[in-house]
Amino acid sequence: MAGLALAGAALPALAASTLPGATDLGAQGREATRRGGPLVLLLSLPGCGYCETVRRNYLGPMAAAGEITARELDIGTDAPLRDADGTMTGARAWARARGLAFAPTVLFLDAHGREAAPPLRGLQPDFYGAYLEQRLEAARAALAGPR
């Protein structure tokens, strides 16, 4: 019985090691804002250990728990991407056009693809969770509008 409990406990960790890909920032941003938050977009590069840490230890578990809507964009590829304005581009070109070349970078986007909070660049392990929460709170407040 204990073996089954341990095997079941490993399933959320496995699910948390991946994030769905960003394919349509407009539709995915609207989905996120309908749920009351920003689209949390992880910009990653192949073989980036820090990206894996952010995905596995922070964004993946939060997304699996339904706390955030998160997607990942590999900015080292030309994977097709529909921007929030409906234009088709590639992941690398989209990031380059915005001056985003550093990974990991986490963006907090509204339904129109605009930043709802400042980006979170790099990985500061001691304080990363707090920095992430601060950005999420700022993004949610910006999406809620003035009170």
How does residue 147 score in pLDDT terms, banded at 50, 70 and 90? low
Bigger pLDDT: 140 or 145? 140
How far is the C-alpha of 66 from the C-alpha of 6, rounded, in Å?
22
Q: Mean pLDDT in the chain? A: 89
> Taking a C-beta distance cutoff of 8 angstroms, is the pair 38, 109 a contact?
yes
- Residue 115 has phi, psi (to 5 degrees) of -70, 125
pLDDT digits (tens, 9 = 90+) for 117-140: 999 999 987 899 999 999 999 999
Return d(Cα 71, Cα 49) in angstroms, integer. 18
| pLDDT tens by residue, 57-92 | 999 999 999 999 999 999 999 999 999 999 999 999
How are beta strands 88-90 and 39-44 bridged, if at all?
unpaired
Domains along the chain with CATH numbers: 20-144 (3.40.30.10)
Amino acid at 50: Y
